[in-house]
Amino acid sequence: MADPAKSKAATSRDAAIALRRMAREAAEVSESAAALEASAGAVERSSDIQTETAIRRTILASDRTVLAVERTYAAWIRTGLASLASGVGAHAVFGDELPYWLVAFVGGVLVVFAGFAFAVAAWRQIGLALKDPKPEIPKLPTAVSVGFSALLVLTCMAALAEILLVPRG
């Protein structure tokens, strides 16, 4: 039979080895938990940065939208001014050279198109209703752009009356 003292010593040694292994595993688990907590913190910070970046991109997109609308408004105004000048110029330059009905028709069409361009410019400007987030850049006040367009439409009406009612030559 086995010696009880040796068997007790072997059991104590096995228990000590098992305790050291459990302590080592507990330390590894503790290190893993700390690493996992640090990783979770990094993921949370990264998520916050991504959210802030997405919000910033949205604000910048609304800024670009404001600028695009203003460029479109300027393009319609530019087109209308060119058409108005062409209509009045055609009446002034060709009024003596060509038949009155032809000059009045060409000038009238150009001036009516100019009025249409000014009205479309105002309509497009009124149609800009940005939702949240609000842009960081100031937008052209709607009252100013619509008022300017209305003034240009009145100018077109005066030019059309001049073209149709006052023959050249």
Q: What is the pLDDT of residues 11-32, one digit of tens each?
A: 778 777 888 888 888 888 888 8
* The model scores a pTM over 0.85: no
> By percentage, how much of the chain surpasses pLDDT 70?
91
Are 137 and 63 within 8 A, CB to CB? Answer: yes
Half-sphere exposure of 60 (CA within 13 A, CB side): 6
Rg of the chain, C-alpha, whole Å: 41
Sign for the CA dihedral angle at 54, 59, 65, 67 comes to negative
What residues contact residue 167 under an 8 Å CB cut-off, 6+ apart? 95, 100, 104
Determine the Cα–Cα distance for residues 103 and 86; give it in Å rounded to an integer. Answer: 11
pLDDT at 77: 95
Q: How many independent structural domains does the chain possess?
A: 1
pLDDT at 83 > cutoff 90: yes
Between 40 and 78, whose confidence is greater? 78
First to last CA, the chain: 142
Domain residue limits at 146: 4-165
The pLDDT tens digits of the residues spanning 96-150 come to: 888 988 989 999 999 999 999 999 999 888 876 656 667 778 878 888 989 999 9
Tell me what pLDDT residue 147 has.
Answer: 93
Alpha carbons 62 and 77: distance in angstroms, whole number: 23
**113 or 165, greater pLDDT:** 113
